[in-house]
């Protein structure tokens, strides 16, 4: 059977196309069996839910849409974050679930990819509204999640508090505490030390490996980070601890740039008081698109997808692009950056630190045994370094860029697992 045309698929969106085009780009190179190729392009299971949501004023009731996609159940339970954003749709969640499968395979974790999302703007909701939406969404997907089935985690617009509400809702229905149903939850209810910082720490571990390979001094480098949330802010702080200068940051409200380096302590104080960067008076105010093209050595997109494309890839100044966000770079931009000699560390490697420590958290829940923060961080760093070197080894052997190499490693691993398991019935 030929590989189907994308426009015939219900979940066809620009982000889904990016995920599929990346897969298609390596399928022939590795001689991927056509049936496995077709299967990997589609979700194994997709759940679409809609439910009523009552605002705090108690008179407005809106209908909200939510999704949970499980891409691949071959490798173990499925694993992936839950995103709250107004752009969430079935195609976006499917693309993110596909990338989760590749990430888990690159890191050697016993999971397939999943992702969930609710189409809302979390910035417009009160805490009580956020809690109500979270509990109702959880109850809508309760039959498809579980510690041995599918384990959510935080993503864009969600955090450890949201995970705590999911864990509580699930546990109430089961009649006992089930900490293993989510990862990225607070330490008080079974979360892992080091999980909150894990994605940012993994991003910087990859940047350090790239610097070592390219002969660049990380400690002398200038770093720009788009998106000062969980991933971006952690990466910024670790970069500064290691001696680099963070010269630019942004959130959805605005960006700031200061060639002398930003004072992150003052930034954090401002955000703690005002929630967003807008109005921060130090440095120059720049827009999000401008920030990406300001002078730096290392650029870390850590906000949303589709930020670096054919229209701005030529204007980037960085030597290394580390994808903290999922899907920030288009295929055309990849080609332009490769021609310009910019090293791109792909999302499926660069931001895999989060799912890696989520795996540690899940293991700790199963064993009912807690690791120290130092143990978590050291194991994370050593797994990230090993994954980086494995991917680099493929890239050098096959004369391909890091994204192609990472995809090749991931898909070959999954193909072997699928062949071993065979076809039911």
Q: Which of 79, 103, 115, 418 is catalytic?
A: 115
Site residue total, ligand NAD (CB under 6 A): 23
Mode of pairing for the β-strands spanning 298-301 and 320-322: parallel
The residue range among 12-20, 209-217, 311-319, 324-332 that interacts with ligand NAD, by the rule CB under 6 A, is 324-332
115 included as an active-site residue: yes
**Rounded Cα gap, residues 302 and 304, in angstroms:** 7
Stretch that binds ligand NAD, among 14-22, 32-40, 226-234, 416-424 (CB under 6 A): 226-234
Q: At what angle do helices 402-421 and 373-398 cross, to 10 degrees?
A: 100
Using rule CB under 6 A, residue 192 touches ligand NAD: no
How far apart are CB 156 and ligand NAD at their closest, in Å?
Answer: 4
Determine the Cα–Cα distance for residues 83 and 159; give it in Å rounded to an integer.
10
CB of residue 199 vs ligand NAD: minimum separation in angstroms? 4
Binding segment for ligand NAD (CB under 6 A), chosen from 59-67, 148-156, 311-319, 390-398, is 148-156
Q: Taking Cα atoms as reference points, which of 348, 391, 377, 390 lies closest to residue 238? A: 377
Stretch that binds ligand NAD, among 20-28, 30-38, 223-231, 417-425 (CB under 6 A): 223-231
**DSSP H or E stretch at residue 364:** helix 353-367
Binds ligand NAD by CB under 6 A, chosen from 32, 236, 325, 414 = 325
Smallest Cα–Cα separation from 204: which of 244, 247, 261? 244
Between 230 and 293, CB nearer to ligand NAD: 230
The span from the CA of 299 to the CA of 123, in Å, is 26
CB of 157 to ligand NAD, least distance (A): 5
Applying CB under 6 A, does 346 fall inside the site for ligand NAD? no
CA distances from 158 to 131, 135, 299 (A): 11, 13, 24
Closest chain position to ligand NAD (CB): 229
Q: Which of 43, 179, 190, 227 binds ligand NAD (CB under 6 A)?
A: 227
In angstroms, what is the minimal distance from the CB of 182 to ligand NAD?
12
Rounded to the nearest 10 degrees, the angle between the axes of helix 402-421 and helix 34-41 is 110
CA separation for the pair 261, 91 (Å, rounded): 39
Position among 192, 250, 329, 377 found at the interface with ligand NAD (CB under 6 A): 250
Region of 71 (left: φ > 0; alpha: ψ -120 to 50; beta: rest) is: alpha
The reply to whether 231 sits near ligand NAD by the rule CB under 6 A is yes
DSSP state of 121: -
When the beta carbons of 79 and 222 are compared against ligand NAD, the nearer one is 79
238 neighbors 204 (Cβ within 8 angstroms): yes
Verify binding: residue 323, ligand NAD, rule CB under 6 A.
Answer: no
Angle ∠(386,389,395) on CA atoms, nearest 5: 145
Residue 376 CB, nearest distance to ligand NAD (Å)?
14
**Residue 27 vs 113, nearer CB to ligand NAD:** 113
Q: Is 302 in the site for ligand NAD (CB under 6 A)?
A: yes
* Interaction of residue 251 with ligand NAD, rule CB under 6 A: yes
| From 37-45, 300-308, 337-345, 388-396, span contacting ligand NAD (CB under 6 A) | 300-308
51 near ligand NAD, judged by CB under 6 A: no
**One symbol per residue from 149 to 188: x for binding ligand NAD (CB under 6 A), - otherwise; what is it?**
-----xxxx-------------------------------
* Dihedral Cα 188, 193, 196, 198, nearest 10 deg: -160
384 counts as binding ligand NAD under rule CB under 6 A: no
d(CA 60, CA 53): 8
Tell which one of 13, 183, 293, 351 touches ligand NAD (CB under 6 A): 351
State the nearest-atom distance from the C-beta of 63 to ligand NAD, in Å: 23
Strand duo 222-226 + 298-301: pairing: parallel
Among 66, 190, 324, 346, binds ligand NAD (CB under 6 A): 324
Collapsed DSSP state (helix, strand, coil) of residue 268: helix
* Residues 6+ away with beta carbon under 8 Å from 425: none
Residue with tokens 């979270």: 134
The CA-atom distances, in angstroms, between 184 and each of 155, 165, 180, 304, 351 are: 10, 12, 10, 20, 15
- Measured from the CB of residue 281, what is the shortest distance to ligand NAD in angstroms? 19
Neighbours of 314 (CB within 10 A): 12
Binding site for ligand NAD (CB under 6 A): 154-157, 199, 227-232, 250-252, 288, 302-304, 324-326, 351, 354
Q: Which residues are catalytic?
A: 115
């Amino acid at each position: 059977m030929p590989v189907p045309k994308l426009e015939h698929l219900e979940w066809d969106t620009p982000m889904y196309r990016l995920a599929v085009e990346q897969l298609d780009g390596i399928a022939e190179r590795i001689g991927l069996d056509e049936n496995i190729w077709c299967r990997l392009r589609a979700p194994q299971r997709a759940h679409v839910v809609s439910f009523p949501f009552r605002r705090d004023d108690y008179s407005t009731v809106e209908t909200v849409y939510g999704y949970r996609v499980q891409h691949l159940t071959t490798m173990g339970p499925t694993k992936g974050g839950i995103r709250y954003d107004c752009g969430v749709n079935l195609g976006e969640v499917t693309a993110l679930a596909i990338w989760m499968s590749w990430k888990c395979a690159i890191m050697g974790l016993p999971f397939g990819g999943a992702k969930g999302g609710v189409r809302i703007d979390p910035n417009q909701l009160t805490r009580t509204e956020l809690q109500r939406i979270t509990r109702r969404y959880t109850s809508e997907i309760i039959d498809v999640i579980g510690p041995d089935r599918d384990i959510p985690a935080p993503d864009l617009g969600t955090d450890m508090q949201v995970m705590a509400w999911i864990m509580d809702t699930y546990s109430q229905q089961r009649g006992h505490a089930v900490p293993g149903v989510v990862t990225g939850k607070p330490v008080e209810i079974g979360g892992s030390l080091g999980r909150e910082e894990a994605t940012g720490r993994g991003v910087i571990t990859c940047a350090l490996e790239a610097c070592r390979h390219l002969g660049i001094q990380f400690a002398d480098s200038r770093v720009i980070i788009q998106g000062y949330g969980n991933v971006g802010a952690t990466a910024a702080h670790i970069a500064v601890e290691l001696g680099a200068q963070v010269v630019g940051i942004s959130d959805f409200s605005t960006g700031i740039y200061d060639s002398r380096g930003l004072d992150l302590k003052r930034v954090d104080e401002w955000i703690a008081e005002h929630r967003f960067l807008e109005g921060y008076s130090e440095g120059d105010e720049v827009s999000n698109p401008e920030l990406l093209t300001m002078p730096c050595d290392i650029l870390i997109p850590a906000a949303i997808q589709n930020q670096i494309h054919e229209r701005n890839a030529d204007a980037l100044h960085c030597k290394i692009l580390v994808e903290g966000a999922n899907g920030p770079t288009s295929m055309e931009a990849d080609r332009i950056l490769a021609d310009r000699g910019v090293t791109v560390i792909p999302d499926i490697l660069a931001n895999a630190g989060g799912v890696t420590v989520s795996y540690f958290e899940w293991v700790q829940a199963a064993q009912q045994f807690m690791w120290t923060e130092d143990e978590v961080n050291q194991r994370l760093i050593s797994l990230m370094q090993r994954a980086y070197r494995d991917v680099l080894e493929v890239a050098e052997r096959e004369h391909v860029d890091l994204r192609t190499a990472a995809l090749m490693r991931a898909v070959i691993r999954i193909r072997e697992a699928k062949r071993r398991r065979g076809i039911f019935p």
